[in-house]
Structure 1
Amino acid sequence: MAHLVCDDSGCPIAYPGLSHLTLIQWSVERLPSKPSTSSNQIPFPRLRSLKIDMEHPFGDNTLFRGNCGTLESLQMALDCITINMLKRNEVFAAGKYAKLRNIYIRSIDQESEVESIPDYIYQSFVLKMSPKAQIFTDQEVMIDQSKVALFCNSPNLADLRVLNLPSLALHMTSLVPLLKGLRRLERLECSSLVGDLDIDADCMHAAHFPLASRLRLLSLTSYDDEHNDAFGCIMLLALVCPVLTHCRMSYGWRESFNSFVQGTVETAPYSLCRDRLMALKYINEQQ
């Protein structure tokens, strides 16, 4: 990867007009070595979008030098080694990437067991990469239920509009405080919703309505045949979220979901919000 930023004689190469950069490694093998460059070298000073679809290719902050005032979208693979390197170089020091709105992270090796990132590192680093994040995606199973609570009170996520956790099934006990903490959330994606179907809907409505007053779209990525639990949770959520009108899920769930909604709205307390809940619209995963 050194040839990207240095010519054959070792002289630095810069790309002052480059605004979008994508780095891809076709091999699944880990990199044998990672080059570093002089701290004075700034090869990508005006990047707006950086996608690193591979193990981080440098041993230092080469890709991030000089573009903290322009970078708006970042997609990268993370592990503890990469995080330590970024922290050591103070890449995401407090408030540094004020224009970074879209953050997408995943594990480095998608074929093997994902390395666990401790909660305190996830909270102190991952959730503080930008003070103005609006879209946050954790693509792999890097996140678990214990980390969901970390989103609730993070000041860096006050402006978050979209949260994508496609590998995680969210439990209702985690989801309610999550939505209370992310007051501007408009779209939420997870693998499924799980919870106790004996939850008292009247108590849920009395305790939490209105919840997530901007949440309009819920997306479920699971293709599991056992979906009644998820449907029950969706209806509970729709009961307390006043503008939740669209649910994206597997096409195979369409008829059973519509039937579940029609049956549920005839029962109390859902019947009190019948017109609003009947507007709950299924959309498939392609829409």
Structure 2
Amino acid sequence: MLNLRDVNLKHQSTFASFPLLTRLDLSILTSPAIHPSLATMSASTLQYLDIRLNDVSALFTDTNGIEVVYPNLQHLRMYSYAQCHSDAPTLALDVVPLPVLRSLRMALYPFADDVLFRGNSATLEYLDFSIDAYTVDLLNKMRVFESKNKVLRHVVFTQNSYIGHSTPEAEAAEIKLLSDITSSARKVTLLTSMAIVIPTVITQYEHGFKHVQVLRLESFGLSFFNVLCLLKALPALTILACGILVWHGMGDTCCDNTTMGVITGIIRAELPGVFVHSVQLGSSVGADRNAGFFGNVNNQIDTVCKALSAIEELQDGVNLMGFSQGGLFLRALVQRCPTIRARVLVTFGSPHGGVAKVPECSSSDDTLCQWMRQLASKGVYSWYIRDHVIQAQYFKDPERIDQYLQFNIFLPDINGDLEERNEAYRERILALDKMVLYKFSEDRMIYPAMSPWFGFVDTDGNDIPVQNSTMYQEDWLGLRGLDEAGKLSMVSLDGPHMHIGKDVLRDIVAEHFGASEKVVPFYVQD
């Protein structure tokens, strides 16, 4: 990405030798006569563009007057200082400058036609813009948002404070535009007084707000009566269930039709409309499976955390379901990832307390697993294995605790076993609405058997329940706080490791992730 926030551009020729760019940030440049050409020069390759400019026509017309198309541009953030008016720039009707645009952020709409929305109704997912009377009339006239094929999921409205809608006709036009834009949206943010008209939108236009799951209002001028009217209209909206994040276990992959595919299918069937994301590490199924045996867990968790910040459906809260070691990694994600708002964490047979024996393989034909065990047998705390074998990174030998504390690169940190503890880990665990830990009565994969409940064993092999541990009693991780608040559940399931009946899983999903009432989260900042 080229970021030229602090460059003083004097000569366009300076950039003639630039390679074709895919990302370009020109948001704080002060050379409006030159910098649009930096975008047009890379128009064929740009995927991301952040730009501030006076003459918007310069972005879509080169210095020779030829119209410019951006065939690969997916994200456009555009600040224009010019207010739209009847003689604003237009492009020929057959020009589709942004055919694959997914995200559009802008202030005032700077064109006199539909140029920014041509041909991208099936790709545009995020729209953030300021509306005024002219924009409302223009977009309604052009019928921009009447397409039934649009995929808009998140819409942010800012009302221009200098151009009011004072007549009944203007308000009616605004209501129509609002209903058309929100007909496919899952999330709507209103940074305006427009919230007042939402009940009217819902009652007059069936398709308006039909699929909205999250409504966020940061609005001035809402009276108590307005809020009551809005709440009365909310039953017309759909149920919100938080998005669900699942992480598979050792030897599995994110999307295997016989394992995780079945699980995600059950979740979607039990909670219609819920967003489900299955963690995948690597660009292929093989790479994802390999990452369950070999790699650095710390790096993997960092990668997942960064990836989640780009998933819009998980920004307003996420429920988590982890299987075997995937549950351990999700718990670490809750502790380490500040960008997610974790609500409910459910884990199955997850070695939260660590393992005192390297996990067994489910099959003798599992080459990757056998290779992992062979490497681990050479010494889980040796410099190479501790950094590259996943299972070594949550191995805890009760007879070699000093070596565990010194050489294990993952578990001592997230379990608070080190002298220097991260208080943020505890705070994020305590912020959970609920933590549910399932273990299996005949588990031969995870040893000790109490590890899924944060328990362990002493040097004689005797079980140490978590309640008897210093970690719990001094509340290093917040487990005691959760427990005393009634938010920690420890449940035993009959059977071997990861043998979960479909009916049992359905009941668990409904109990812990299903909403008891059809409620839409509602935020008002006044």
Q: Could you say which TM-score interval applies, normalised by the shorter chain? A: 0.5 to 0.7
Q: How many Å separate the matches in 1 of 2:199 and 2:224?
A: 9
**Alignment equivalent of 1:35, drawn from 89, 103, 106:** 89
Q: How many Å separate the matches in 2 of 1:67 and 1:113?
A: 28
What secondary structure sits across from 1:157 in the alignment?
Answer: coil
Is the aligned partner of 1:166 residue 2:166? no
CA RMSD of aligned residues (A): 2.9
Counterpart in the other structure of 2:525: 221
Counterpart in the other structure of 2:193: 141
Deviation at 1:143, TM superposition (A): 3.6
Alpha carbons of 1:69 and 1:215: their partners in 2 closer, same or farther (altered >3 Å)? same
- Letter matched to residue 140 of structure 1: T
Deviation at 1:149, TM superposition (A): 3.6
- Letter matched to residue 172 of structure 2: Y
Question: What is the total number of aligned residue pairs between the two structures?
Answer: 193
Is the aligned partner of 1:71 residue 2:124? yes
Deviation at 1:220, TM superposition (A): 3.7
- 1:181-209 Cα offsets, whole Å, 9 max, x none, are 1132569x9xxxxxxxxxxxxxxxxxxxx
**Alignment equivalent of 2:102, drawn from 48, 53, 57:** 48
Q: How many Å separate the matches in 2 of 1:113 and 1:31?
A: 12
Counterpart in the other structure of 1:122: 174
Counterpart in the other structure of 2:61: 6
Alpha carbons of 1:36 and 1:221: their partners in 2 closer, same or farther (altered >3 Å)? same
Deviation at 1:176, TM superposition (A): 3.9
Q: How many Å separate the matches in 2 of 1:88 and 1:61?
A: 10
- 1:24-43 Cα offsets, whole Å, 9 max, x none, are 13x4x635751001011111
Counterpart in the other structure of 2:77: 22
Counterpart in the other structure of 1:151: 202
What secondary structure sits across from 2:172 in the alignment?
Answer: helix
- Give 5+ residue unaligned stretches, structure 2: 1-55, 243-315, 317-514
Q: How many Å separate the matches in 1 of 2:121 and 2:184?
A: 13
**Alignment equivalent of 2:138, drawn from 85, 89, 104:** 85
Alpha carbons of 1:177 and 1:149: their partners in 2 closer, same or farther (altered >3 Å)? farther
Alpha carbons of 1:83 and 1:20: their partners in 2 closer, same or farther (altered >3 Å)? same
Could you tell me whether the CA contact under 8 Å between 1:20 and 1:47 is conserved in 2? yes
What secondary structure sits across from 2:108 in the alignment?
Answer: coil
Task: Tell which structure's C-alpha radius of gyration is larger.
Answer: 2
- Structure 2 counterparts to residues 134-283 of structure 1, below 5 A: 134-144=186-196, 146-152=197-203, 154-167=206-219, 168-169=222-223, 171=225, 173-185=228-240, 213-215=517-519, 217-222=521-526
Alpha carbons of 1:7 and 1:163: their partners in 2 closer, same or farther (altered >3 Å)? same
Alpha carbons of 1:31 and 1:127: their partners in 2 closer, same or farther (altered >3 Å)? closer
Counterpart in the other structure of 1:256: none
Q: How many Å separate the matches in 2 of 1:59 and 1:22?
A: 19
- Give 5+ residue unaligned stretches, structure 1: 190-210, 223-287
What secondary structure sits across from 2:217 in the alignment?
Answer: strand
Q: How many Å separate the matches in 1 of 2:73 and 2:59?
A: 13
Q: How many Å separate the matches in 2 of 1:64 and 1:125?
A: 14
Q: How many Å separate the matches in 1 of 2:520 and 2:206?
A: 22
Alpha carbons of 1:75 and 1:176: their partners in 2 closer, same or farther (altered >3 Å)? closer
